[in-house]
Amino acid sequence: MTFSGKFDIQISLIAKNVHEFDTLLDIIFRDCYPFVQKYEVLTVIAPYCNLIFPQSFVQTHKEAQKKKRVVSYDTKDVAILDSLANDAIKPYYSIANDVGLSADAVTHRVRKMKENGIVTNFVPIINYTGLSYSIYALLLRFTGLDKEKKNTLQELLQTDKNTLWAVHCIGKYDTQIYLCVKNTEEVHDTLNNLRRHFPEAVSDYEILIAKEEHKYTYFPKTISTL
């Protein structure tokens, strides 16, 4: 996604390990040289909030997420996920033809993946600009946040009327937030609310204005080749 602000572009990567990430980073630097003048790496640790619409647009009921656990899967499951990632409403009989299974087998596998927490939601991709909304990114660095304060931060973000997506990170900034707003005043409403609740903790922040999303996928090729 391209932005207007201190940083011009954000690239989100999924890597199997730190070595694969380092290889991907080398490729980016090689292909983008000499345009990369400054960069930051943030490693996503845990989600704070993940919505389709902000609370200001519609009241959203978020079901409690199941605890993560390691589950088994095979190449057929991966092929089904790859197909659903490209078209979430694709009929199961059509997926069955693609992956070499019966429609009943596909239905059973999708049900099991939902029960196991591999598939959590089937969501649309929204053109927020078409609804007269804009996306802003907040990059924040907090100091002195213990577990209790992190829980408070999560509750605050989950009830904030402008927050669309937020994660806890490791890096220069430890919190990244996407805001979906009608105007800049709503951006500062959220920022000021954070400052009120954590008056001594917000040590640094950046506000970026999203301009264009160039690519987004729920199932990158590095996973589909497992």
Sketch the domain layout of the chain as residue ranges: 2-60+124-212, 75-117
The residue ranking higher by pLDDT, 82 or 141, is 141
Determine the pLDDT at residue 54. Answer: 81
Within a 10 A sphere around the Cβ of 108, how many other Cβ atoms? 13
Decide if 156 contacts 175 (C-beta within 8 A): no
Average pLDDT over residues 217-223: 73
In the block, tokens 């040289």 appear at 33
Determine the pLDDT at residue 162. Answer: 96
CA-CA distance, 5 to 22, in Å (whole number)?
Answer: 26
The most confident of 64-78, 116-130, 131-145, by mean pLDDT: 131-145
Determine the pLDDT at residue 147. Answer: 92
- Assigned fold of 75-117: Arc Repressor Mutant, subunit A (1.10.10)
Determine the pLDDT at residue 188. Answer: 95
Buried b (16+ CB within 10 A) or exposed e, 49-66: bbbeebbbbeeeeeeeee
Average pLDDT over residues 32-61: 85
Determine the pLDDT at residue 63. Answer: 53
Report the percentage of the chain scoring pLDDT > 90.
65
Token readout for 19 is 């070595």
54-106 pLDDT tens trace: 887 765 555 545 555 667 788 899 999 988 888 888 999 999 999 999 999 99
Determine the pLDDT at residue 174. Answer: 95
Determine the pLDDT at residue 216. Answer: 79
Determine the pLDDT at residue 208. Answer: 97
Determine the pLDDT at residue 225. Answer: 60
Which neighbouring-strand residues pair with 116? Answer: none
Of 5, 19, 59, whose CA–CA distance to 210 is shortest?
A: 5
163-202 pLDDT tens trace: 999 999 999 999 999 999 999 999 999 999 999 999 889 9
Q: Which CATH class is domain 2-60+124-212?
A: alpha beta
- Kindly state the greatest CA–CA separation across the chain: 59
Q: Judge if pTM exceeds 0.95.
A: no
Percentage helix, strand, coil for the chain under 3-state DSSP, each rounded to 5: 35, 20, 40
Any idea of the CA torsion for 10, 11, 17, 22, to the nearest 10 degrees?
Answer: -90
Which spans in 39-91 are helix H?
75-86
